[in-house]
Amino acid sequence: MSKNELTIIPPEKKKSGRPRIEIDPEEVIKLSKLHCSMQEMADFFNCHVDTLRDNYSKEIAKGRSEGNIRLRRKQWQIAIEKGNVIMLIWLGKQILGQANEKIDSDNNMPLPIYDIIEDDQKENIE
């Protein structure tokens, strides 16, 4: 190379945007199983909620589904195996559509009070 020739050095490539955050998908699943909110998970990973929503929605859905299954399994164990009456009633309402509704029909109407009073008065007269 001669003294008159210029050497062109390419400029360094500048990185734009935020630094890349490494997020373990298994950790996302674990937090989702606990039904952590999106904001709680974002705080844990020190990232924006949109980052999780845009890049880990499948992992979040999977974790929440697995958490639901674990919760349902535990409820069944408490209700059936341990005989917890409150849990049995709650599951009956949720799954079987049972309710604590008052049923109004002709067969379960209360007796009129005046019939009882009239019968007592007749007995006292006789």
Residue pLDDT, tens place only, 48-94: 999 999 999 999 999 999 999 999 899 989 988 988 999 888 888 88
Which position has the higher pLDDT, 97 or 48?
48
Question: Over the stretch 1-32, which tens digit does the pLDDT of each residue have?
Answer: 556 676 676 777 777 777 788 999 999 999 99
DSSP for 10-64 reads PPPPPP-SSPP----HHHHHHHHHTT--HHHHHHHHTS-HHHHHHH-HHHHHHHH
Q: If DSSP codes are grouped into helix, strand and coil, which group holds residue 5?
A: coil
* Other C-beta atoms lying within 10 Å of the C-beta of residue 52: 22
